[in-house]
Amino acid sequence: MTEIILHEPLDMHLHLRDGAMLRIVAPLSAHSFSGALIMPNLVPPVTDAESMRAYRKRILAAIGDETFEPYMTLFFKPEYDLDFLAPMAEELTAVKLYPAGITTNSEGGVSGFDIEELRPALGALSELGIPLCIHGETGGFVMDREKEFVPIYEALADAFPDLTIIMEHITTAESVAALDRHPNLYATITLHHLLITLDDVAGGMLQPHLFCKPIAKRPEDREALLQAALDAHPKVMFGSDSAPHPQHAKECPGCAAGVFTAPIALPALAELFARHGKLENLQHFVSSNAQRIYGLNPPKKKVRLTDTPMRVPEKYGEVVPMFAGEEIGWSIDAVSVK
């Protein structure tokens, strides 16, 4: 039997939603992760200290006794400034910027990327040392959206050299390459983008549970992502972008974007890293890099995984997970909190 013990695993991009959905999905992440960066795209989005604090309380109530830190974010608005952000800086781990209308619940996001217009808000984040997480896609052709956004990432990185910019859920070789050109650019990579290409989504019968934004790309893109993750690129972190939608919102015309991976993420990652002979690098990808980049000190948690297969449930509540009903070669054997 092969095993790995992960210390303080972190999911640096997680959608927990609210209400009944929050109560179903939050305990699943809280069981195996020490903490997660919580996305603010609720309806309405989390845009002030009061709603951020209230959401954090609802998350803590939903996870019960689990040891888990919800690292909170705010939905970026161009009108943010130093006076607005400074009083909540201690409680904010990051601010998340969405281009307007690019994905689920992002209608109130940014239109156009005029650096001078964004200067008060981004200057304030830079001054306060709050990282900016960006969903980097233009409104162009769906396969080219992320590639077209790279010059915007680069312009922002140059204009705000002291601002930590996280390119969220990168899916292309161009994004991986951009990491090495700017000291202040970092990235998260999802589990599903390490595993699938567009062929898995739409190459045969349409697979709604693998449909997400950004859409999965070409084999050479997945290869570049895999290499960065498996080699423990120091600027790359695991962010699942686990995005639960009820089954009826996925299996219908107008399928919602999002892959639900939270409960299977660590076993599937262990299987992937083991298959490539890189298990020793998983700790960097799922925790150490994020701790260093964000300056986090997560609650202690040890997760022991072994190469004992697990059968993935068909559903968690009304949500169908990735690999529903299938077997994953690895499973969680024990979780301990020191």
Q: Active-site residue numbers?
A: 241
Nearest alpha carbon to residue 214 among 131, 290, 149: 149
**Residue placing its CB nearer to ligand DOR in the complex, 245 or 284:** 245
For residue 239, the minimal CB distance to ligand DOR (Å) is 11
Q: If DSSP states are collapsed to H, E and C, what string results for the chain? A: CCEEEEECCEEEEECCCCHHHHHHHHHHHHHHCCEEEECCCCCCCCCCHHHHHHHHHHHHHHHCCCCCEEEEEEECCCCCCHHHHHHHHHHCCEEEECECCCCCCCCCCECCCCHHHHHHHHHHHHHHCCCEEECCCCCCCCCCHHHHHHHHHHHHHHHCCCCCEEECCCCCHHHHHHHCCCCCEEEEECHHHHHCCHHHHHHCCCCHHHCCCCCCCCHHHHHHHHHHHHCCCCCEEECCCECCCCHHHHCCCCCCCCECCHHHHHHHHHHHHHHCCCHHHHHHHHHHHHHHHHCCCCCCCEEEEECCCEECCCCECCECCCCCCCEECCEEEEEECC
Site for Zn ion in 238-297 (CB under 5 A): 241
**Residue placing its CB nearer to ligand DOR in the complex, 258 or 267:** 258
Site for ligand DOR in 123-182 (CB under 6 A): 135
For residue 103, the minimal CB distance to Zn ion (Å) is 7
Amino acid 181 reads R
For residue 213, the minimal CB distance to Zn ion (Å) is 8
Task: Give how far Cα 298 sits from Cα of 119, 150, 227, Å.
Answer: 31, 31, 27
Q: Could you say whether residue 212 binds ligand DOR (CB under 6 A)?
A: yes
Nearest alpha carbon to residue 272 among 193, 213, 202: 193
Which one of residues 6, 15, 59, 209 is an interface residue with ligand DOR (CB under 6 A)? 15
**Residue placing its CB nearer to Zn ion in the complex, 8 or 241:** 241
132 - beta bridge partners? Answer: 95, 165
**Residue placing its CB nearer to Zn ion in the complex, 11 or 241:** 241
Q: Which does 212 bind (CB under 5 to 8 A by kind): Zn ion, ligand DOR, none?
A: ligand DOR
**Residue placing its CB nearer to Zn ion in the complex, 137 or 241:** 241
Q: Could you say whether residue 13 binds ligand DOR (CB under 6 A)?
A: no
For residue 232, the minimal CB distance to Zn ion (Å) is 23
Q: Could you say whether residue 47 binds ligand DOR (CB under 6 A)?
A: no
Stretch that binds Zn ion, among 149-157, 235-243, 247-255, 284-292 (CB under 5 A): 235-243
Closest CB to Zn ion: residue number = 241
For residues 55 and 70, give the distance between their C-alpha atoms in angstroms, rounded to a whole number.
10
Q: Which does 229 bind (CB under 5 to 8 A by kind): ligand DOR, Zn ion, none?
A: none
Stretch that binds Zn ion, among 108-116, 194-202, 234-242, 306-314 (CB under 5 A): 234-242
**Residue placing its CB nearer to Zn ion in the complex, 67 or 109:** 109
Site for ligand DOR in 238-297 (CB under 6 A): 241, 243, 257-258
For residue 231, the minimal CB distance to ligand DOR (Å) is 26
Contact characters 84-103, ligand DOR, x per CB under 6 A = -------------------x
Q: Residue numbers of the site for ligand DOR (CB under 6 A)?
A: 15, 41, 103-104, 135, 212-213, 241, 243, 257-258
Q: Residue numbers of the site for Zn ion (CB under 5 A)?
A: 241
